[in-house]
Structure 1
Amino acid sequence: MKRGLIMANIKDVAKKAGVGIATVSRVLNNSGYVKESTSIRIKEAIKELNYIPNEIARSLINQSNKTIAFILPNSMHLFFGELLYYTEEYLFDMGYKVLLCNSSGKRDKEIYYLEMLKNNRVDGVILLTTNDIEEHLDSSLPIISFDSIFEDIPFVSSDNYMGGKLAAKRLIDNECGKILYLGKKNIVNKRVYNTNTVKRKQGFLDQMFLNEIDVSIYEYTYDQYQNIDILLSDYFDKNIDFDGIFAMTDELAFKVANIYKEKAILPGKDISIIGFDGGRSYQNTCFNLTSINQDSKELAKALSEMIVEKIKKNDVKSTLVPVKINDGDTA
């Protein structure tokens, strides 16, 4: 049998590199000191021999399977999809796999996932939730949060407050006088958990207050979102005389722009409409939506680096990523 058909093992790598098995193991597991020249020699031997480490065996030894779970409400959401994509790319380059857990925004499903993940020894969890689940966040499992704030859990978030102020300033610059804020209610058991939209709204209202401009507010609950098209249509049938609208997400802004277009009121000409997310999908529509841009790539980078540092038991600090306005045709 030809040598090329036999799978190489760690002994073969050690022999070819002229080192001990323990030294090869340190390089594979990125643990302990190994001279750079020796590390390079070992990696060259691994490549030449097409050596594939036994991940199962390594996970049993290290109590790690190099897997990070990402719990989020809906991976089909355009912004969440972008965030997930870039996070997986970064973590892959750092040697980790990503386990996707779609929660549909349901509290009981999030709790189920957290219990399952604790029992199945993932290395860490990135959590995106709007629910009251603080009592289920086990301190023994490395967890970081996206947007939501929990005690002793570091988070990554866009600067949502500044985003709200930027949206307000654009509508003010456009000389809008009858203005609407459109978003989702974020109160759960009388406590606010998801702070992103709360801060967007607050930044928007604070800037309008400074300019002595009144703002109408229309908010829906999470459960109502499945009927959001009907709700919006009914609302704007009775309240159509706005000349400036700030929507909590690009998706909402796009729906509103369509409603106004159907009524022969042109976004960007007869009314200013601004979204929030800045996903590429809505920059190439017939409206070329004006939006507050969340930098999904930078957010993913911050999430990836933070969870890996948390896994290594290093101190990490919560991070705010700057936002900017994407100039489109709707405001």
Structure 2
Amino acid sequence: MAGVLAALLGAGQAGAVAAEPFGIEVRFLGAPLGAAPRSAVNEAARRVSALIASPFEPVRVDVPAGECDRGLPALRGRLTRLVVFVRVKRLDDDLYATGMPCDLHDGSFLPIYGVVDLNSAGLSDLPRTDVLDTMIHEFLHVLGVGTLWERDARVSVSGEQDDRVFLKRQGKTTLYVAPRAVAAFRALGGRGAGIPLDPDLGHWAGEAVCSEVLSGSSGEYTGRLNPVSPLTLGALEDLGYRVQGGRAAPFRLPVGACPVQADPPAVPAGGFASCAAARAAGAALPLRRGQLGYRPGLDGDGDGLACER
């Protein structure tokens, strides 16, 4: 952290540096990753980058090896994108992956770099769609959604403390109370003082949002891309990002209990021949780009959603 701080102070003395567009730069570490999951990781980075309208603030860093987490290499030089180390390693059997930010910028308290660990056990057996969905989830954690909600986590490289309030205890439940995501929750019909959270305080409560990408229950909904809803875009805004509002996926809060996921439909090679065929097979519509069954021929307006009507 001291190395990063010295570099930041040096950059300030040299004068203002123009901000550049937001992007995620993936650096792979650990066990070799096959072509299909590697492609899914890179696509997830592009998709999450596309959610952000604000630029990444360039910064010159000099981070020693292992400072953020054991086994990470040194990070030196001028960063113009959010660097995320993606490691393939053995994790606990109940985890697909974990993601977290490392050092935070002064002033904005937004991440400078981060790390995602993918569980090497069973990774080769995961369908590409599940790898893509998992990585979107973890890259959002690296951006700070769910990982920077608690006050103690928001300390910048020079030791500044961010005093914004994101969480509030209400009885036995913890609520997310920052304004943008709460406004999105209410616009969707949600009630109460805030959004109920999972016990880990880093995900929306599964019973409140079911399959939303940052739901505590999202891992139960496989074989598809879980939606990045206005709630999660609102949480990004609460952290300080400007977002592309039109990138939010169609989403509804559940009425009653969450639906139980049925066995995934059989998908012909090359995707469904028509939207009628997809509907007849029991596929959840719309089909999203990257999801089994999607093909460009069904996506007339090219927005990444096929069979929208």
After TM superposition, the score normalised by the length of structure 2 is 0.32
Relative contact order, higher structure (CA 8 A, sep 6+): 1
**Larger-gyration structure (1/2):** 1
Between structures 1 and 2, the one with greater helix share: 1
After TM superposition, the score normalised by the length of structure 1 is 0.30
